[in-house]
Each structure stands twice: as C-alpha cells, then as structure tokens.
Amino acid sequence: MISLKALIVEDDADDATLLARSLRDAGFDVQWTRVETEPDFLSSLRQPLDIIFSDFSMPLFGGMRALELLRASGLDVPLILISGTVGEEVAVEAMRQGATDYLLKDRVARLASAVQRALNDKRIEAERRQTQEALRKSDQRLRSIMERMLDCVMVVRPDGTVSEMNRAGLAMLEADDLEKIRDTRFADFIRPAQREAFLELHRRVLAGGGGLGAFEVRGCGGELRWIEIQAGPLLDADGLVEAMICITRDITERKAAELQILSQLEELQRWRTVTLGREERVLELKDEVNALLEELGRAPRYENTNPDQESRT
C-alpha cells in the first residue's frame, strides 16, 4: 500500500471519515487530520503532508481560501477540491488558481486516479526542481572557476559576438563589463591583417573542429597585445555545436621576447656575413706575405693560416 499523509478540510466529520475510507479502499495507507477553520488549517501546514482535500464551501472556511493560503505558504503540496455541486466555470477557475483536481462528493469513483496523478505530478515537479537546482549550482561553480582563472575564457556565438567572458578576458580587452562589447564581433578587435585567420578558425570550430592561433588585438582603450587562442566547439543538449569556446592567453611578453631574439639573430647573421669575407681576405693576405718571403729565402712571418691545407699535406 502507498502511505499517504492527508489533511482534510471539512466541516462534516462523517464526510471526512467517508473520504478516508474511500482512500483505504483504493489501496492507500492513509493517515489523516481534519480541520475546518483557517487557523487550524495554517497550523496543520507545519506538519509533513502528501496531499490536501478541501471542501469547496463551508460556513467558516472554503476551498478557494485554503488554496490561496497554501499558495502563499510556498509549499508544494497538491490540493484536491471536493464539492457537493459546482458549475464548470467555478471548477475551471479553481484549476487556474492552482487546484490539482476537482471532484464531486457523490462521484468519487475516480478518487484513486486523481490522487495517484497528483502524487505523480508532485514527484515530477520535485525532480524538475532538483534538476534545476543541480544545474544552478553547477553553473554557479563553473562561473566561479571561470572568474578565478588567470586566462581569458570566452564563448563566441555563430554571429561572431561574445556571449560570455570572464574578468581576465574583459581586462585583456580593456572593457569594464560584458555589455560594453556584447554587440561587437570579436574579430573586430583583431588586427586587419590577421582577421581572416581568426574567421577561418571560427568557421572550423563551428563545423565541429578545433584549433590554435596567435593574434594581435587592440583593446577598447587602444592598447595592442598578442593573444593565443585555443578554441573548440561548445555543444548543446542535443550534441549540436551552438558556439565556440576559447581559452585565451596573453602572450605579449612572450611575443616581445621572441621578436627580440629574432632581431638579435638577424643582427648576428649580418655581422657574420660582413666579417666572414674580411677574415677570409686577411688569411689570403697572410698567405701571400709568406709566399713572398719564401721566394726571398726567408722564414714565414705568419704561422700556417690554412689548417685544412696543412692537414691535407
């Protein structure tokens, strides 16, 4: 049997007992309490309840008032209205106000199905709320992680605008908040010469791929910096690509160091080219001096200037 903790709002004790008996006959192990005044009703809401049955009209209290108080309490307890006679319009209004069902006292044959449906609806609603709460907490955790990351995390929509960006990313673009850049395509921050490369990366990710690229961007305040973007697809609940998610790192200092090293290498290469020719000419001149001295029968002035030649002889 299904255990059921019920509150019955009814001024007729016999009707309440009959309702409880009908519930037991329908297979419910019912524990019930009867009230007929508003204060008693409010007091009973403090105890755990699975369902509430309320007479529509009583001398001191009524079903619509009980429904109003239940809604104000914030409790998620199904309420079934029961009446001797009522018009269709009243029943529709009661359902619109939040009643789970409406039964006539002389037609309680569908009592069991009405209760079962109410309990199922309550269970489904509780599961939905639990899922929403779990999603809310998960989203909150992800946002907290994003905000504490030193690298930029951003989501770029298919139209190229940014829907999400953490504080590191906003600082990178010299933006106070997301609203300042929400309507701007991220590609517009990239230097024109590199813009097409970023757009190609964007197209590739939206097609389900991924990629890595380095770009020079100009922030809202005009500052130039180099960034490295690692991008991949962000999928929706159906597994379809809905946006591009990027982990973006400021590599301005690294890029400056690379450029400095390249500049130094180029400078060394230039000096090597210049001095290499001179060194070879000096060696030739020493060889010529030694040759002339040899013709004069004198000892060479310079030591062997061509080690390769010496090794061959």
- For the chain, the domain total comes to 3
Report the CATH number that the domain containing residue 81 is assigned in CATH: 3.40.50.2300
Q: Is 256 a domain residue?
A: no
Domain membership flag for residue 35: yes
Structure tokens at 110: 């569908």
The string over 199-231, giving b where at least 16 C-beta atoms fall within 10 Å of a residue's C-beta and e elsewhere, is eebbeebbeeeeeebebebebeeeeebbbbbeb
- pLDDT at position 286, please? 80
Shared-domain flag, residues 223 and 269? no
In contact, 215 and 229? CB cutoff 8 Å: yes
Does the structure show a pLDDT above 50 at 312? no
- DSSP secondary structure of 249-298: EE-HHHHHHHHHHHHHHHHHHHHHHHHHHHHHHHHHHHHHHHHHHHHTTP
Helices vs strands, H then E, count in the chain: 9, 10
- Are 162 and 75 within one domain? no
Please indicate, yes or no, whether residues 124 and 158 belong to a single structural domain of this protein.
no
CB 154 within 8 A of CB 169: yes
Instruction: Assess whether 55 and 26 both reside in one domain.
Output: yes
CA 268 remoteness from chain centre:
50
Residues 108 and 154 in one domain: no
Residue in 308, 271, 269, 264 with CA at minimum distance from that of residue 287: 308
CA separation for the pair 167, 151 (Å, rounded): 9
Q: Which residue has the tokens 């970023």?
A: 198
Of the given ranges (70-84, 156-170, 212-226), which has the lowest mean pLDDT?
Answer: 70-84
3-state secondary structure of 226: strand
Q: Which of 230, 241, 247, 254 is nearest to 166 (CA)?
A: 247
Instruction: Judge if 243 and 284 occupy the same domain.
Output: no
Give the residue among 69, 75, 107 at the shortest CA–CA distance from 91: 107
94 and 155 co-located in one domain = no
**Is 126 within the bounds of a domain?**
yes
pLDDT tens readout for residues 201-243: 999 999 999 999 999 999 999 999 999 999 999 999 889 999 9
CATH number assigned to the domain comprising residue 179: 3.30.450.20
Q: Is 138 among the domain residues?
A: no
Q: Is 48 helix (H, G, I), strand (E, B) or coil?
A: coil
Which has more pLDDT, 307 or 108?
A: 108
User: To the nearest whole percent, how much of the chain has pLDDT over 90?
Assistant: 42
| pTM of the complete model | 0.52
Residue 53 lies in a domain: yes
Q: Which residue has the higher pLDDT, 84 or 192?
A: 192
50 and 165 housed in the same domain: no
Whole domain around residue 158: which residue ranges?
Answer: 149-250
277 with 216, same domain: the answer is no
Q: Report the side by side order of strands in the sheet with 152-156.
A: 162-165, 152-156, 241-250, 224-235, 211-218
